[in-house]
Amino acid sequence: MMAECYRIWAQLEHEAGTQLYRQTGLLLLGMKENPELKTIQATLSSQGVEHQYLPSEELKQRFPNIRLARGEVGLLDKSGGVLYADKALRALQDVIQQLGVIVRDGEKVMEIKPGLPVVVKTTSRSYKAKSLIITAGPWTNQLLHPLGVELPLQTLRINVCYWREKVPGSYGVSQAFPCFLGLDFSLAPHHIYGLPSGEYPGLMKVCYHHGNNADPEERDCPTAFSDIKDVHILSRFVRDRLPGLEPEPAVMEHCMYTNTPDKHFILDRLPKYDNIVIGAGFSGHGFKLSPVVGKILYELSMKLTPSYDLTPFRISRFLGLGKAHL
């Protein structure tokens, strides 16, 4: 799916006349015998994605400002990089509005009435349509509950941390520093990832790919103690592995993840209502794939043959868990 996404992002860049993607490379860090690293390498090879295996010594020479653990190796996916999310959303809205799409912002959905047509009531008005696509992120179950559906979605509040460079630009794109994903850090059961400095000058984004359970309505409430535990893990990582950064976050923001048990998306029609389509559970890695996800949701809503095998994304895969009440 990513191969098609790269093409569509490039097309949108061209149509918008503005840069939406910056190719930096993505460096995967892990122990030589790490099975996940081996799986990723096999996937990159089978998909024909240009990549380079970096043994410890070469890794040290290429990226001297990363302090490696003993036996750690690297895998550099040269196609990886950073999407500018705000610019991408603005470009997309501008392009689709030129095609006649109407964007209704700031309207809260109050009720969905299934049927033919399906009716959506908001704080401003009612809408009728042959089909409906719901992509409501952490609010998904609030909208589905009145329809008798509850999906096994976990809503998490994520700390988004930025760390000051001791020498400005040393972890920046201008120094050819890549995005990275750490697969092996003894204190962290989940991945740690980073993006080169640029979004905030002199600050590098380094985050923990997990968070704490949170109601989306209360996402801006004061932080719980467990929130600080996550930041402590990151501080230890920055101190031990990225010596050119100050080990306390300079800026901390928040975002929401909506996770499924297997971290794969839900792209499907609702079992009782085949004209209501759901896109949810993007588990912190959906934005990059949104061009193809949009295409798939469109195909489902129009009852066209999907462009991809949707078996990994069906609601029915959760029936054995007892957590999805369908």
One domain for residues 286 and 193: no
CATH of the domain at 276: 3.50.50.60
Residue 219: the pLDDT is 76
Mean predicted confidence (pLDDT) in 283-289: 93
Say what the pLDDT of residue 321 is: 59
Residue 326 resides in a domain: no
Nearest to 171 by CA among 253, 273, 250, 242: 242
- Looking at residue 220, what is its pLDDT? 77
Which residues, other chains included, contact 273 with Cβ-Cβ below 8 Å and sequence gap of 6+? 114, 118, 147
Mean pLDDT of 226-242: 87
Q: Are residues 74 and 163 in the same domain?
A: yes
Average pLDDT over residues 183-198: 86
Q: Looking at the structure, do residues 43 and 174 belong to the same domain, yes or no?
A: yes
Provide the residue range defining the domain that includes 273. 131-153+260-314
134, 168 contact by CB (below 8 A): no
Do 248 and 168 share a structural domain?
Answer: yes
Q: Do 143 and 167 lie in a common domain?
A: no
Q: Is residue 276 part of a domain?
A: yes
pLDDT band at 190 (very low <50, low <70, confident <90, very high): confident
84-142 pLDDT tens trace: 999 999 999 999 999 999 999 999 999 999 999 999 999 999 999 999 999 999 999 99
Q: Is residue 148 part of a domain?
A: yes
Q: Is the predicted pLDDT of residue 205 greater than 90, yes or no?
A: yes
54 and 168 in a single domain? The answer is yes
Domain assignment present for residue 11? The answer is no
Sorting pLDDT into bands at 50, 70 and 90, what band is 324? very low
Domain end, chosen from 198, 219, 252, is at 252
Task: Kindly state whether residues 165 and 246 are assigned to the same domain.
Answer: yes
User: Does any domain span residue 320?
Assistant: no
Report yes or no on 96 lying in a domain. no
**165 with 141, same domain?**
no
Across 54-65, average pLDDT: 95
Tell me what percent of the residues of the chain surpass a pLDDT of 90. Answer: 80
Same domain for 188 and 304? no
| pLDDT band, very low/low/confident/very high, at 314 (cuts 50, 70, 90) | very high
Whether residues 149 and 162 share a domain: the answer is: no
| Residue 103 placed within a domain | no
Determine contact, residues 170/244, Cβ cutoff 8 Å.
Answer: yes
pTM: 0.91
Q: Please write down the HEC assignment for all residues of 199-240.
A: EECCEEEEEECCCEECCHHHCCCCCCHHHHHHHHHHHHHHHH
Domain stops at, among 234, 252, 270:
252
Rounded mean pLDDT, 42-51: 94
CATH number for the domain that contains residue 43: 3.30.9.10
Q: For residue 304, is pLDDT > 50?
A: yes
Q: Does the residue 21 lie in any domain?
A: no
Residues 177 and 215 in one domain: yes
What angle do helix axes 2-16 and 290-301 make, rounded to 10 degrees? Answer: 100
284 and 233 share one domain: no
Give the pLDDT confidence of 258-285 residue by residue, as tens digits: 999 999 999 999 999 999 999 999 998 9
Which letter, b or e, does each residue of 91-106 get, where b requires 16 or more Cβ atoms within 10 Å of its Cβ? bbeeeeeeeeeeeeee
Among 205, 224, 252, give the residue marking a domain's end: 252
Stretch 20-49: mean pLDDT = 94
Tell me, what's the pLDDT at 184?
81
Number of independent structural domains in the chain: 2
